[in-house]
């Protein structure tokens, strides 16, 4: 190891262990947070079933891609899971629409206090969903990614750049970032430019006036669930490709996802995305051990002996929580003013 | 007939539940029946706490297990003997580390009130944190190295276990006060998500900080408030009592058979006796809580609470008052959950952090409250008995169902083993479905609240 | 039979009865005004006419056809349009989007109708890319009015269209209302400013505690001693 100050290698190190992981984790959170935001804006409740729904969608992908692999319906080097998404989406849409029909629709009809009833009902749905997933796939962790693991590996990067510190760009990271950009662009185009998307915004903005304008509430709700299915399935699959699939892990994603939504300002799509990256970067920056990074940057005499890790990795969920608490204390509306008090 | 049923609904439901438990006692075993009863009683106390929050103020606590775990921790901290070696080795250092942590936080809050530059405060807090963390990890290391297989933690204060119930409630109340202070007055879901978060964090701390309550290594052999089975078996009066109770049967046997049989009976009876002692204890505490909360709810304070819940116009006129009152209720309810958590660990005699499955048990308590009829304390108790019974029995019932299937299937196929392996997850589905069905078709539960104002 | 007619309407919110056999009607090319004290049930009548609240008795007919059983959306597509008293725009959408949403149910090209609304309210054209929430009270009322115009309705129901606007804007809005009436639309309007409203009304209903207290032409009501004493301040 050199004893001079080496900014390029330090930066490569940071890219490999902080920036790329945080970008892809942030993208996964953002997709989940957007699903929560959609449900919140249209159906007016915080969907506690989001984490387990993501597990459900991922389960469908695992089952379908497993079947496809067994039949040899694969593309060399490409994760079969991604190819399985369209079919899984069909299943997920049916599942969510069925849940809406069986559970949530009733409370819309009787005009219940939607947030409080919706939370309770979604907790019920969360258990049903989580139970089904665990029954079918078991509770233990598994990996389901196949295909090429890297766009370029550490070794290839080092050979190409001659740097001492390598950067690996995982296929899952590449897919996550690409798909997230595409999906977000699609969502914003849909909401801003299409008639149906505008109708959804109108419905979210002023439900009564939307009805007076002849907007069909059932259709708005249906489309919302379809979008939720899309975002949920893809978010879950990407997270699983990146970090493996474990139902409990997915369940707990609820915390960072809600933190993202609230930090960004509940009900605001842009806020959800900003919040997701804030949470992801905080989580990874605070749990990263900076020892090697500092060794690159500091003269030999100042090299640290400890890991220089601010918070143990085991407490990463605490970080979302602390961010949440800080936001509630300082600016309860979130970054992009959301709705702070119940009822309207 | 119908009005008779309406008037005596609570009594009839409880009578049916009692009959079922007696049936279990006679057909399966009394120890099992009492085990179910005791767990139901503890659940009932927890449900009571949640009912006070949810039923009386509409406050959603999704972190019940976290507060219960705090109660459990207090049992270890209060009742275990101190590990003097560990205390001598690292106790002081840990003390300093914790003081430093507390000082950092206090300084942060104090300077913030003084209106000092935010960045300066942030810098001070970060530096304080780094120092704390440095001392802390060193202290934790030292403590955890002291005979890790048996201790590796500081132990407790060696006080009578009954103190831990009070302290458990107090610790839970403290955590609730903090969470409530931040989230109450804002949206309902903020409280819900914050309680979920705090409970996960509490559990992570308990699991990871070995120096504290041994983490995943569990704490065994907690003291008991009731006699041990072995002592009972050896005490003469107990043997005589059992002999007297079973005299009719014993008389017919030969001398050696008599002794053998009696030993059997005494062993069984000792188990039942100990469980009965616990039942007595839990019933006493449960009754005390019910009486107190009913008194409170019929006091002027309680009337105001209900008025706020039932009448939004009046509520909004009170504004700031609501927040204070909700905070009181939230703290109170959480304290009761904390007490129940302490009782749970007392009853188990072991502290197992991994047994706090937030997903399952927080939710079970919720189903209990909603099934019983939110807002009605007796409803929560009834709900606790029914749901705990279903929860316990649905495992065997599910297996039984699978075995039925397997008898019909010609060969022991692999899919069957698979189902047996996973069948207990269906209980989650089952409980979720029960919750959704009650919400949908009988939102006021089995025993609807009586004094709800329309 | 009048073009739009609500006859002997009875309605309640939950168990609290609000309307007691209340009747209102309006012809094409006519401006009818409902006046009355706060809480009399004026807004409630509007809601019943639109099917946003179910009447427990009475009927609503449009051009002789009973529409009591139709949903709100169906009544809108039958030619009713409504400007609610409050929350009558989509705040986080632009002026133009508000108008587009107004014409949501139309299958044909709505750009011409949007042009017409801009002609009626030129200020809205200048502000068409702005969010409704950023407009002044008067401009927002114009957006609300314009949004309702987008279905090219045959009946326009307005709930206090001049609430919270300056006298100048009020005159402007009244003149717009007269314009659409003159174009042949039936206009039924709830108004707080009873004097001015009855002045321009063809027909008036005075509602008290959910009952018709007085009915007549605008002139008759203005000249009625009792009405003047009770509702017009002398
Ligand atoms: N959504 C509602 N729920 C219950 N009561 C209502 C509701 N809306 C209005 N009211 C009551 O109905 C009565 C009539 O209201 P409204 O029709 O708005 O009166 P107006 O428009 O003449 O001022 C009032 O006493 C009001 O308090
Ligand atoms: Mg009104």
HEC assignment per residue over chain B: CHHHHHHCHHHHHHHHHHHHHHHHHHHCCHHHHHHHHHHHHHHHHHHHHHHHHHHHHCCCCCCHHHHHHHHHHHHHHHHCCECHHHHHHHHHHHHHHHHHHHHHHHHHHHHHHHCCCHHHHHHHHHHHHHHHHHHHHHHHHHHHHCCCCCCCCCECCCCCHHHHHHHHHHHHHHHHHHHHHHHCCCCHHHHHHHHHHHHHHHHHHHHHCHHHHCHHHCECCCCCCCCCHHHHHHCHHHHHHHHHHCHHHHHCCCHHHHHHHHHHHHHHHHHHHHHHHHHHHHHHHHHHHHHHHHHHHHCHHHHHHHHHHHCHHHHHHHCHHHHHHHHHHHHHHHHHHHHHHHHHHHHHCCECHHHCCHHHHHHHHHHHHHHHCCCCHHHHHHHHHHHHHHHHHHHHHHHHHHHHHHHHCCCCCHHHHHHHHHHHHHHHHHHHHHHHHHHHHCCCCCCCCCCCCC
Residues 96-125 of chain C with CB under 8 A from chain A are 97, 100-102, 104-105
- Centre of ligand 1 from the C-alpha of residue B425, in Å: 50
- CATH ID of C29-39+78-231, from 1.20.950.20, 3.90.550.10, 3.40.50.300, 1.10.40.30: 3.40.50.300
Given a cut of 80, whether residue B318 has pLDDT beyond it is no
ipTM: 0.90
At A330 the three-state DSSP class reads helix
Ordered strands of the C65-66 beta sheet: C16-26, C4-13, C57-62, C65-66
Given a cut of 50, whether residue B266 has pLDDT beyond it is yes
Surrounding ion ligand 2 within 5 Å at CB are C 43, 85
User: Contacts for A183-191 with beta carbons within 8 Å, 24 or more apart?
Assistant: A183/A31, A183/A230, A183/A231, A183/A234, A184/A30, A184/A34, A184/A273, A187/A34, A187/A227, A187/A231, A187/A269, A188/A269, A190/A227, A191/A269
Q: Roughly how many angstroms between the first and final C-alpha of chain B, as a whole number?
A: 27
In what helix (H) or strand (E) does residue A329 lie, and over which residues does it extend?
helix A316-330
Residue B153 buriedness (CB in 10 A; 0-12 / 13-18 / 19+): buried
Contacts of residue A216 in chain C, CB cutoff 8 Å?
73
Mean pLDDT calculated for residue range B82-96? 86
A interface test, pick of C74, C101, C102, C105 with most A CB neighbours within 10 Å: C101
Residue A245 buriedness (CB in 10 A; 0-12 / 13-18 / 19+): buried
Tell me the C-alpha distance between B202 and A318, whole Å: 9
Least confident of A230-234, A258-262, B116-120, B362-366: B116-120
Given a cut of 70, whether residue B452 has pLDDT beyond it is no
pLDDT tens-digit map of B125-142: 889 888 888 888 888 888
How many other CB atoms are there within 10 angstroms of residue B406's CB atom?
Answer: 16
Contact A263, A329 (CB under 8 A): no
At C60 the three-state DSSP class reads strand
C11 lines ligand 1 (CB under 6 A): no
C7 lines ligand 1 (CB under 6 A): no
Assess C141–A contact: CB distance below 8 Å, yes or no. Answer: no
Work out the angle between the directed axes of helices A217-243 and A171-193 (0-180°, nearest 10): 170
Contact A181, A160 (CB under 8 A): no
- Residues in chain C with pLDDT values less than 70: 233-234
Place of tokens 């005979």: B147
Task: Say what the pLDDT of residue A1 is.
Answer: 47
Boundaries of every domain in chain C: 29-39+78-231
How many helices and strands (H and E) does chain A possess?
16, 2
Task: Say what the pLDDT of residue A344 is.
Answer: 38
Given a cut of 70, whether residue B15 has pLDDT beyond it is yes
**pLDDT confidence tier of residue B314, bands split at 50, 70 and 90:** low
Chain A neighbors (3+ CB pairs < 8 Å): B, C
At C15 the three-state DSSP class reads coil
At A286 the three-state DSSP class reads helix
What percent of chain B has pLDDT above 90? 31
Residues 6+ apart with CB under 8 A from B297: B56, B305, B306
Task: Say what the pLDDT of residue C203 is.
Answer: 93
Place of tokens 């609290």: C16
Contacts of residue C93 in chain A, CB cutoff 8 Å?
198, 201-202, 205
Task: Say what the pLDDT of residue B453 is.
Answer: 44
pLDDT tens-digit map of C70-129: 988 899 999 999 999 889 999 999 999 999 999 999 999 999 999 999 998 999 999 999
Diameter of chain A measured on Cα atoms: 73
How many other CB atoms are there within 10 angstroms of residue A186's CB atom?
Answer: 12
Task: Say what the pLDDT of residue B416 is.
Answer: 65
How far A315 CA lies from chain B's nearest CA (Å)?
7
Structure tokens at C37: 């004290």
Q: Pick the ligand that lies closest to the CA of residue B313.
A: 1
| Residue-level pLDDT, tens digit, chain A, 344 residues | 445 678 888 888 889 999 999 999 999 999 999 999 999 999 999 999 999 999 999 999 999 999 999 998 888 888 899 999 999 999 999 999 999 999 999 998 887 777 788 888 999 999 999 999 999 998 889 898 887 788 888 888 888 888 888 888 999 999 999 999 999 999 999 999 999 999 999 999 999 999 999 899 999 999 999 999 999 999 999 999 999 999 999 998 999 999 999 999 888 899 999 999 999 999 999 999 888 888 888 888 888 877 788 888 888 888 888 888 888 888 888 888 766 554 43
Closest residue by Cα to residue C200 from C223, C180, C177: C177
Pairing assessment for the beta strands C16-26 and A150-152 based on DSSP bridges: unpaired
Assess A151–B contact: CB distance below 8 Å, yes or no. Answer: no
User: Which of B182, B198, B422 faces A135 most closely, judged by CB atoms?
Assistant: B422
| DSSP, res C94 | B
Distances in Å between the alpha carbon of B342 and those of B32, B179, B223? Answer: 22, 20, 13
Chain length of chain B: 454
CATH 1.10.3470 corresponds to the domain A3-330? yes
User: Which of C73, C84, C92 faces A205 most closely, judged by CB atoms?
Assistant: C92
Given a cut of 70, whether residue B413 has pLDDT beyond it is no
User: Which of C88, C100, C151 faces A198 most closely, judged by CB atoms?
Assistant: C100
Q: Name the residue of chain A whose CA is nearest to C133's CA.
A: A205
How far C219 CA lies from chain A's nearest CA (Å)?
33
User: Which pTM was predicted?
Assistant: 0.89
Chains A and B: how many Cβ contacts under 8 Å? 133
Q: Given an 8 Å threshold on Cβ–Cβ distance, is A252 in contact with B200?
A: yes
- Centre of ligand 1 from the C-alpha of residue C170, in Å: 24
Diameter of chain C measured on Cα atoms: 51
Pairing assessment for the beta strands C4-13 and C16-26 based on DSSP bridges: antiparallel
Contacts of residue A218 in chain C, CB cutoff 8 Å?
none
How many other CB atoms are there within 10 angstroms of residue A100's CB atom?
Answer: 21
Q: How many CA atoms lie within 13 A of C128 on its CB side?
A: 14
C38 lines ligand 1 (CB under 6 A): yes
Tell me the C-alpha distance between B14 and B386, whole Å: 10
C146 lines ligand 1 (CB under 6 A): no
Least confident of A306-315, B207-216, B331-340: A306-315
């Amino acid at each position: 190891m050199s004893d001079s100050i080496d900014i390029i290698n330090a930066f490569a190190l940071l890219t490999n262990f902080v920036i790329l992981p945080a970008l892809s984790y942030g993208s996964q959170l953002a997709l989940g947070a957007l699903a929560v935001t959609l449900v919140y804006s249209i159906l007016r409740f915080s969907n506690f079933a989001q984490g387990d729904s993501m597990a459900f969608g991922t389960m469908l992908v695992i089952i379908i891609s497993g079947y496809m692999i067994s039949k040899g319906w694969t593309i060399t080097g490409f994760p079969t899971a991604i190819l399985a998404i369209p079919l899984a989406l069909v299943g997920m849409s049916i599942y969510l629409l069925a849940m809406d029909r069986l559970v949530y629709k009733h409370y819309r009809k009787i005009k219940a206090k939607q947030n409080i009833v919706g939370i309770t009902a979604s907790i019920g749905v969360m258990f049903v969903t989580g139970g089904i997933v665990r029954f079918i796939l078991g509770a233990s962790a598994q990996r389901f990614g196949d295909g090429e693991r890297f766009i370029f590996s550490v070794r290839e990067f080092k050979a190409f750049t001659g740097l001492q510190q390598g950067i690996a760009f995982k296929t899952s990271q590449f897919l996550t970032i690409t798909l997230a950009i595409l999906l977000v662009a699609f969502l914003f185009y849909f909401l801003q430019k299409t008639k149906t998307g505008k109708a959804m915004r109108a419905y979210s903005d002023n439900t009564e006036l939307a009805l007076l304008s002849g907007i069909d509430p059932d259709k708005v709700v249906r489309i919302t669930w379809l979008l939720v299915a899309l975002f949920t399935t893809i978010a879950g699959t990407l997270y699983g490709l990146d970090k493996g699939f474990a139902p409990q892990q997915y369940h707990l994603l609820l915390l960072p996802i809600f933190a993202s939504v609230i930090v960004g300002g509940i009900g605001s799509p842009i806020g959800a995305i900003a919040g997701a990256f804030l949470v992801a970067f905080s989580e990874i920056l605070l749990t990263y051990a900076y020892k090697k990074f500092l060794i690159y940057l500091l003269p030999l005499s100042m090299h640290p002996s400890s890991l220089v890790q601010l918070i143990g990795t085991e407490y990463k969920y605490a970080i979302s929580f602390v961010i949440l608490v800080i936001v509630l204390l300082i600016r309860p509306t979130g970054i992009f003013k959301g709705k702070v008090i119940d009822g309207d | 007939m119908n009005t008779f049923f309406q008037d005596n609904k609570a009594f009839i439901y409880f009578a049916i539940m009692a009959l079922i438990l007696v049936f279990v006692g006679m057909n399966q075993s009394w120890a099992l029946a009492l085990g179910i009863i005791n767990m139901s009683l503890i659940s009932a106390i927890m449900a009571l706490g949640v009912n006070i929050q949810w039923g009386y103020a509409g406050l959603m606590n999704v972190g019940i297990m976290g507060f219960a775990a705090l109660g459990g921790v207090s049992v270890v901290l209060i009742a275990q003997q101190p590990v003097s070696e560990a205390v001598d080795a690292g106790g002081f250092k840990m003390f300093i580390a914790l003081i430093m942590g507390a000082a950092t936080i206090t300084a942060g809050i104090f300077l913030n009130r003084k209106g000092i530059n935010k960045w300066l405060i942030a810098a001070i807090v970060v530096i304080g944190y780094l120092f704390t963390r440095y001392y802390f990890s060193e202290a934790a290391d030292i403590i955890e190295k002291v005979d890790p297989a048996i201790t590796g933690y500081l132990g407790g204060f060696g006080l009578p276990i009954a103190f831990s119930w009070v302290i458990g409630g107090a610790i839970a109340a403290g955590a609730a006060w903090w969470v409530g202070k931040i989230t109450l007055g804002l949206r309902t879901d903020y409280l819900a998500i914050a309680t979920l978060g705090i409970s996960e964090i509490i559990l992570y701390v308990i699991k990871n900080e070995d120096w504290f309550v041994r983490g995943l290594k569990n704490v065994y052999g907690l003291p008991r408030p009731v006699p041990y089975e072995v002592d009972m078996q050896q005490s003469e009066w107990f043997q005589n009592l059992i002999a007297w109770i079973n005299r009719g049967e014993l008389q017919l046997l030969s001398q050696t058979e008599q002794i053998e049989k009696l030993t059997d009976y005494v062993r069984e009876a000792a188990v039942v006796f100990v469980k009965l002692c616990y039942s007595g204890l839990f019933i006493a505490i449960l009754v005390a809580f019910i009486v107190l909360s009913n008194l409170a709810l019929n006091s002027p304070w309680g009337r105001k609470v209900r008025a706020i819940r039932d009448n939004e116009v009046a509520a909004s006129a009170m504004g700031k008052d609501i927040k204070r009152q909700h905070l009181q209720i939230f703290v109170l309810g959480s304290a009761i959950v904390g007490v129940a958590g302490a009782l749970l660990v007392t009853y188990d005699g072991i502290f197992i952090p991994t047994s706090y499955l937030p997903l399952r048990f927080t939710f079970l308590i919720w189903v209990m409250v909603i099934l019983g009829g939110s807002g009605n304390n007796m409803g929560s108790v009834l709900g606790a008995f029914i749901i705990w019974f279903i929860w316990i029995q649905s495992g065997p019932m599910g297996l039984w169902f699978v075995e039925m299937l397997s008898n019909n299937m010609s060969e022991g196929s692999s899919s069957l083993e698979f189902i047996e392996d996973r069948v207990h997850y269906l209980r989650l589905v089952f409980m979720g479905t029960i919750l959704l069905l009650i919400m949908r078709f009988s939102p006021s539960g089995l025993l609807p609240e009586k004094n709800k104002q329309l | 039979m009048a073009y739009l007619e609500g006859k002997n309407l009875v309605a309640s919110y939950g168990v609290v009865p609000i309307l007691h056999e209340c009747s209102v009607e309006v012809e094409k090319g006519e401006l009818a005004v409902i006046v009355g004290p706060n809480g009399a049930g004026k807004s409630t009548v509007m809601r019943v006419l639109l099917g946003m609240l179910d009447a427990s008795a009475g009927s609503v007919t449009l051009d002789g056809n009973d529409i009591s059983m139709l949903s709100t959306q169906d009544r809108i597509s039958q030619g009713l349009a409504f400007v609610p008293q409050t929350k009558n725009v989509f705040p986080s959408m632009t002026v133009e989007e508000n108008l587009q949403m107004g014409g949501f149910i139309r299958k044909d090209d709505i750009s011409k109708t949007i042009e017409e609304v801009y002609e009626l309210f030129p200020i809205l054209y200048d502000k068409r890319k702005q969010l409704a929430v950023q407009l002044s009270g008067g401009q927002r009322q114009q957006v609300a009015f314009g949004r309702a115009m987008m279905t090219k309705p045959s009946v326009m129901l307005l709930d206090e269209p001049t609430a919270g606007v300056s006298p100048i804007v009020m005159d402007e809005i009244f003149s717009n209302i007269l314009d659409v009436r003159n174009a042949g639309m039936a206009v039924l309007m709830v108004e707080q400013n009873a004097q001015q409203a009855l002045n321009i009304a063809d027909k008036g209903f005075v509602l008290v505690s959910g009952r018709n207290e007085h009915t007549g032409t605008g002139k008759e009501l203005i000249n009625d001693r009792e009405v003047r004493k009770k509702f017009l301040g002398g």
